[in-house]
């Protein structure tokens, strides 16, 4: 059972405050969705959870299982079992996906024997095929010459290999074709069932949320969470748009 708590988090980039007191919790076995306009601070939150050096926490805390992770480096956060699927995954030329993931898995579980490279390679190829990626990508540099959608699918494979307890996926649905979106959603659901991972799904569209059935939806606006609710909030957002819903929630407060 794992919990990631974001407490009254204030974050600045180059002396400009982007997050102004964000509170939310991600728990094992739960799926939280976060929606919000372009530039509202969603990716800033994701990157801050992972200790990106450009994002300075001026106040507040991030707790994993009750303990602050602010002093931990990004790799230590990953070893705790926190995973980030990037909005724009980068390419790492010269490092094959197979070597990258086999090494990452060993770093995460150092007490376990490094997996046999041939067996690992074979397993990875079948995972690539299962998600609709050409198995030859396993031998290429990580995301090398890969399309946007292929990179998103590769993030999902990294997630299922590493089996994290808390998963943050930043717009995993952007750039995916219709079939791929369904497969990705199935992977999220499967991971939740098999390993009881907790998810924070950052998205602009209700479709991913319809497939994954989140427990809670957060609405982010100008660096704070202005509203939360059940899956019906995502439907309401698509119907009314951000402006109307944000205005309604500020009238209620």
Ligand X SMILES: Nc1ncnc2c1ncn2[C@@H]1O[C@H](COP(=O)(O)OP(=O)(O)OP(=O)(O)O)[C@@H](O)[C@H]1O
Residues that bind Mg ion (CB under 5 A): 42-43, 87
Q: How far apart are CA 91 and CA 163, in angstroms?
A: 22
Q: How far apart are CA 59 and CA 29, in angstroms?
A: 28
Q: In terms of CB distance, is 36 or 214 closer to ligand X?
A: 36
CA distances from 188 to 13, 94, 107, 159 (A): 31, 29, 23, 9
CB 3 within 8 A of CB 209: no
> What residue spans of the chain are helical by DSSP H?
42-49, 74-80, 97-108, 117-130, 148-162, 178-195, 206-212, 232-240, 242-252
Q: In terms of CB distance, is 38 or 136 closer to Mg ion?
A: 38
Picked from Mg ion, ligand X, none, the partner binding residue 117 (CB below 5 to 8 A depending on kind) is: none
Please report whether residue 51 would count as binding ligand X according to CB under 6 A: no
Q: How far apart are CA 67 and CA 37, in angstroms?
A: 31
Minimum distance, C-beta of residue 95 to ligand X, in the bound complex (Å): 25
Which residues in 116-135 contact ligand X (CB under 6 A)?
none
The edge-to-edge listing of strands for the beta sheet with 16-27 is 16-27, 3-13, 55-64, 67-68
Please report whether residue 36 would count as binding ligand X according to CB under 6 A: yes
Q: In terms of CB distance, is 85 or 231 closer to Mg ion?
A: 85
Which residues in 72-91 contact ligand X (CB under 6 A)?
87
Stretch that binds ligand X, among 1-9, 42-50, 88-96, 193-201 (CB under 6 A): 42-50
Minimum distance, C-beta of residue 91 to ligand X, in the bound complex (Å): 20
Residue from 11, 27, 41, 101 binding ligand X (CB under 6 A): 41
Q: In terms of CB distance, is 10 or 100 closer to ligand X?
A: 10
Q: How far apart are CA 177 and CA 165, in angstroms?
A: 27
Site for ligand X, rule CB under 6 A:
13-14, 18, 36, 38-44, 54, 87
């Amino acid at each position: 059972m794992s919990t990631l708590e974001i407490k009254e988090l204030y974050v600045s980039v180059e002396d400009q405050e982007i997050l102004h007191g964000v509170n939310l919790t991600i728990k094992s076995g739960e799926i939280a969705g976060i929606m919000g306009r372009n530039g509202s601070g969603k990716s800033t939150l994701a990157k801050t959870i992972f200790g990106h050096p450009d994002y300075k926490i001026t106040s507040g805390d991030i707790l994993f299982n009750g303990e602050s992770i602010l002093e931990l480096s990004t790799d230590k956060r990953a070893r705790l079992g926190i995973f980030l699927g990037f909005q724009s995954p980068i390419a790492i030329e010269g490092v094959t996906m197979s070597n990258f993931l086999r090494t990452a898995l060993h770093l995460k579980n150092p007490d376990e024997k490094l997996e046999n490279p041939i067996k690992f390679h074979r397993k990875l190829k079948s995972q690539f095929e299962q998600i609709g990626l050409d198995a030859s990508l396993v031998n290429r540099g990580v995301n090398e010459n890969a399309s946007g959608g292929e990179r998103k699918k590769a993030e999902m494979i990294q997630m299922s290999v590493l089996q994290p307890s808390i998963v943050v996926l930043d717009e995993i649905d952007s750039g995916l074709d219709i079939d791929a979106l369904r497969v990705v959603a199935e992977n999220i659901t499967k991971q939740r069932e098999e390993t009881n991972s907790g998810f924070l799904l950052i998205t602009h569209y209700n479709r991913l949320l319809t497939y994954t059935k989140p427990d809670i939806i957060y609405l982010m606006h100008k660096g704070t969470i202005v509203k939360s609710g059940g899956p019906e909030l995502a439907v309401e957002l698509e119907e009314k748009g951000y402006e109307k819903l944000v205005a309604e929630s500020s009238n209620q407060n």
